[in-house]
Amino acid sequence: MSNITTAERERKHRNITTRMIEKPVARQTKYYDAEIRGLYVSVLPSGAATFNLKYTCPILGKRASLKIGVFDREKFSVQNARIAAMALRYRIGSGEDIAALARQAKARRAKLSGVSVDQMVDEYVSWMQAPVRKRDGELRPRLESWETLASQLNRFVRPRFGKMIASEVTNRDIATLQADILAGRTGSKPSLSNARHMRKGASGLFKWAAQPSRAYVDRSPCHDLEPLDREHPRTRVLSDNEIRVLWHGLDREDLPWDRRTRLALKFALVSMLRSGELLPMHRSELAIESNAGFCVNVPFKRLKNRKHRPNPHPMKQPLSDLAMEIIREAVTSSEQQFIFESPVYPGQPLNRHAMSVALRGTKHEKCRGKTKTAGLCELLGLAKFTPHDLRRTAATLAGRLRIPRSQIAIALGHADPSAPVVTGVYDTADRTPEAREVLEKVAAEIRRIINSPAEATAPDALMPLAA
pLDDT in tens, 36-71: 889 999 999 888 899 999 988 877 778 888 888 999
CATH number at residue 395: 1.10.443.10
Specify the amino acid at residue 435: A
pLDDT at position 107: 62
Residues 200 and 260 reside in one and the same domain: no
Q: Are residues 180 and 310 in the same domain?
A: no
Span 359-388, average pLDDT:
82
Whether residue 230 is contained in a domain is answered as no
The candidate with the shortest Cα–Cα distance to 350, out of 338, 358, 341, is 341
Q: Pick from 304, 292, 324: which is nearest to 145 by CA?
A: 304
- Do 372 and 404 meet the contact criterion of CB atoms below 8 Å apart? no
3-state secondary structure of 69: strand
Residues 85 and 175 in one domain: no
* 75 has a pLDDT exceeding 60: yes
Same domain, yes or no: 322 and 451: yes
What residues make up the domain containing 144? 112-209
Q: Can you give the pLDDT at residue 307?
A: 67
Is residue 321 located within the same domain as residue 418?
yes
> In the predicted model, is pLDDT for residue 446 greater than 50?
yes
Q: How many domains does the chain have?
A: 3
191 and 129 in a common domain: yes
Query: Which DSSP state fits 156?
Result: I
Same domain, 46 and 120: no
Domain presence at residue 195: yes
231 belongs to a structural domain: no
> What is the pLDDT at residue 10?
45
Residue 217 lies inside a defined structural domain of this protein = no
The set of long-range contacts for 340-345, using a CB threshold of 8 Å and a minimum separation of 24, is 340/260, 340/261, 340/263, 340/264, 340/267, 340/278, 340/279, 340/281, 341/260, 343/258, 343/260
Closest by CA position to 466, among listed 294, 278, 277? 294
Same domain, 23 and 142: no
Whether 13 and 65 share a structural domain = yes
**Is 452 found in the same domain as 345?**
yes
Q: Do 346 and 245 fall within a single domain? A: yes
Same-domain pairing of 74 and 158:
no
pLDDT bracket for residue 13 (50, 70, 90): low
In this structure, is residue 190 part of a structural domain?
Answer: yes
Q: Quick one: pLDDT band at residue 354, thresholds 50, 70, 90?
A: very high
How far is Cα 206 from Cα 208, in angstroms, rounded to an integer?
Answer: 5
- Confidence at residue 358, expressed as pLDDT on a 0 to 100 scale: 94
Cα–Cα distance for residue pair 349/262, rounded to 1 Å: 14
